Amino acid sequence: MTQEDKQLLLIDLCARLPYGVIIHNEEGYEGHLNSISQNIFGIELGVNVTAMHRVDFQLDTCKPYLRPMSSMTEEEENEYRAINCYEGLFPRNEDALDYILSHHFDHRGLIEKGLALEAPEGMYKMQ
């Protein structure tokens, strides 16, 4: 992973921290991201792999599960367009960006860049 890729992933994950994004580690661990910290060894992600078990992973060993923009349902698209006040799918205001992040959509193209995994259908069930 290049330094540019690490920076892009870090920026994206920092914005997703409040929304319960699920992280996959190259060792096969998965869980909800609950912290991001920087130390002398690099950037670490704190991940709850179970309710009682938290593990720290290096940023470059992890990928978030994200939903492609194309997976937006008709209902989600209608909600999003009402918030976004714009015909396109890219966020134009803070409320629209919050919607994209809270619904785990990949608006930065991280899946195509190999920096994220496509979330299986139903992984992020919306209430």
Parallel, antiparallel or unpaired: strands 53-58 and 42-50: antiparallel
Coil, strand, or helix at residue 45? Answer: strand
45 in Cβ contact with 35 (< 8 Å): yes
List residues bridging with 105 in a β-sheet: 67
Per-residue pLDDT of the chain (127 residues; tens, 9 = 90+): 899 999 999 999 999 999 999 999 999 999 999 999 998 888 999 999 887 888 999 999 999 999 999 999 999 999 988 888 766 667 778 899 999 999 999 999 999 999 999 999 999 986 4
62 in Cβ contact with 23 (< 8 Å): yes
- pTM, whole model, 2 decimals? 0.91
Please give the single-letter amino acid code of residue 82.
Answer: A
